[in-house]
Structures are given as C-alpha cells and as structure tokens.
Amino acid sequence: MLDRYILHHANKEGFKEGEVYEAYKIFFGTLVSESRLKIINLLRKGELSVTEIVEILKLPQPTISHDLARLKKCGFVKVKTVKNFRHYSLNEKTIEPLMSLIDHHMAEYCIHILHEMK
C-alpha cells in the first residue's frame, strides 16, 4: 500500500497505484548502477561539469552523459549551463538527505555484506 502523500499526488495527475510502482522501479533502479552511485557521491562534494566527472571517474563521456541524463530524469541532480558547459549538482533538498540516510542504514545494517564478500 502506497503512502497517502504520493498516492494523492499521483491520483491528482491521473495516475493509478500500479503506475506509481513503475516509477518507483525506475527511481530505485537508478541506484543500481555503480557509475551513477559514484557520480552521486562526487556531486555530494560540490558542483562539477561533465568534463570534470569524466576526468575523475576515468569513464567514457557518453557513459557519463547517459548516467547524468538518468539522474536528472529522476531528480537526483540539477543542471545549469555556464557558457557552453553543463554543470551538475546534487538535489540538496531531497537526495542529499536520502543519501545520508542510506549511508547510515548501510553502516548500521549492511556492513556484514562486505564481510561476506571477503
């Protein structure tokens, strides 16, 4: 059963509960990619351009651009254009607190996974 808040907003826009679950899958699926998680964590330290992200992560520019498009689609990042460059920043209102919560959850409840991987 969905939370009343999301259900109210979805219904107001003409969407049914099942469609909301599809959006949930896309949102949480965004976190499945290691490169997207690395981008999120980089942006937690501050705004970066695509070029800077490519240089730091040593990944192909098309991969970074694809990942940033997905992150933008799901509201993880914001983008602004400065001269001819796009600069990305983390959505500080919702995603920064979410990532902090995930970090604390991982430290408290998932550290055993690292031990199991050894």
Contact criterion met (CB below 8 Å) for 84 and 50: no
Predicted structure pTM score: 0.90
Strand partners, 49: 87
Question: What pLDDT shows up at residue 118?
Answer: 87
pLDDT of residue 82: 85
Q: In this structure, which CATH number among 2.40.10.220, 3.40.50.2300, 3.40.190.10, 1.10.10.10 belongs to the domain 35-117?
A: 1.10.10.10
CA distances from 96 to 7, 28, 34 (A): 23, 15, 17
Domain with CATH 1.10.10.10 in the chain: 35-117
Mean pLDDT, to the nearest integer, of 66-87?
95
pLDDT in tens, 97-114: 999 999 999 999 999 998
The 10s digit of each residue's pLDDT in 15-69 is 999 999 999 999 999 999 999 999 999 999 999 999 999 999 999 999 999 999 9
